[in-house]
Structure formats: C-alpha cells, structure tokens
C-alpha cells in the first residue's frame, strides 16, 4: 500500500491541511485520544493534531523537529496557522525538537500519555528509537499507534521496527495504522 499526500479539510469548510493519514486512521486516532493526553511524534502540518484536539483529546503534545530540511518545507509556521484556524491552538503544544531529546525531557518531567501516535522518522533505526522512547511514557491501559505499518512503497522499515520493539506483527487496525493497548 502507498499513502499519497493530499489536502484534506479537517472539518467541513475548514482550511485544507496536507496529510497522508487516511480517513479511517484519523477516525480511530480520534476515538482513542478522546479525553486523554496524547503524544504525537511527527506532526508535519498538524492535521492529526488538529483532528484529535477537535475530537476531544484533553491535550496533544506534538513533537516534530520542523527543520524545513525536507520536501515538506516550513511545517511549524503552517502547523501553527492550521491550529489557530481550527480554534485548537490552546489544546496543542508544539515541541520543536528531535524526538530523542523531546522524549527524554518528557520522561524527566514524569509525563504520561493515554495515546501515543508515532509518525516521525520512518527509517528502521528512527522508528525503533521512537517506539522504544515512547513506551515508558504510556500510561497503563494506554494505546501505542504507529503510522505507515505496512506502507510498502516509501516506509517499508516501519513494520520491522514495530515487530522488533513490541513483537507486534499483524494486520494494521485501520489503513496502515498499527495499534496496541498496553
């Protein structure tokens, strides 16, 4: 399966946001994040953060280096504008940092999350580091969601990273979204 990037309205009449997250994937993320603290690793333009905040997440902590060094360009400025346009800027904290440093800081603060959504570095090593880094931050009964599990075109290493970290071989819960309750 290949996930194409496309513009999607986060709500009827809303400012379109570029994403590769599928409708069935965001529906499940919104359901799992409702009423919970959510940690997102990899935010790009903020589509999933906007949608989870609008669907009732208590708060979303969105970690992305927003380096501008990829084809995505200046994602932080556009993400902030998307959060403001959707009226959820107060429910989302953007952490502009590499995930390793951000996860260490969140752990040192004793932070815990009911949903962790990993959609950052899609290399094997990057995905393993992100998954290993977020597992201690999950609260009991929390869910780990990893995007691009089974995406064979551009992110083939994500499934191996999931398997090697959480022994999670299996079918995605929705689209290419792997989900496991801890």
As a whole number of angstroms, the distance between CA 77 and CA 81 comes to 6
- Strand bridging mode 138-146 / 113-118: parallel
Phi, psi of 117 (to 5 degrees): -115, 115
Please state at what angle helix 124-134 crosses helix 99-108, rounded to 10 degrees. 10
Q: Is the pTM of this model over 0.75?
A: yes
Find all residues with CB under 8 Å of 65, minimum gap 6, and list them.
96, 97, 98, 99
Domain 19-181 architecture: 3-Layer(aba) Sandwich (3.40)
As a whole number of angstroms, the distance between CA 112 and CA 102 comes to 13
Domain boundaries, the chain: 19-181
Instruction: Note down pLDDT in tens along the chain; length 182 residues.
Output: 778 899 999 999 999 999 999 999 999 999 999 999 999 999 999 999 999 999 999 999 999 988 766 666 678 889 999 999 999 999 999 999 999 999 999 999 999 999 999 999 999 999 999 999 999 999 999 999 999 998 888 888 999 999 999 987 667 899 999 999 99
């Amino acid at each position: 399966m290949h996930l194409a990037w496309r513009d999607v309205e986060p709500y009827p009449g809303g400012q379109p946001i570029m994403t590769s997250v599928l409708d069935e994937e965001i529906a499940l993320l919104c359901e799992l994040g409702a009423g919970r603290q959510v940690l997102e690793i990899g935010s790009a333009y903020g589509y999933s953060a906007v949608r989870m905040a609008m669907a009732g997440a208590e708060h979303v902590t969105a970690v992305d280096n927003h380096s501008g060094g990829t084809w995505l360009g200046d994602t932080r400025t556009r993400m902030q504008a998307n959060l403001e346009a959707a009226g959820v800027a107060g429910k989302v904290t953007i952490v502009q940092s590499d995930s390793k440093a951000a996860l260490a800081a969140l752990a040192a603060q004793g932070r815990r999350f009911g949903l962790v959504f990993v959609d950052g570095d899609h290399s094997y090593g990057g995905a393993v580091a992100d998954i290993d880094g977020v597992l201690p931050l999950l609260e009991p009964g929390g869910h780990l969601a990893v995007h691009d599990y089974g995406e064979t075109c551009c992110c083939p290493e994500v499934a191996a990273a999931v398997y090697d970290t959480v022994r999670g071989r299996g079918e995605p819960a929705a689209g290419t979204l792997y989900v496991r309750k801890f």
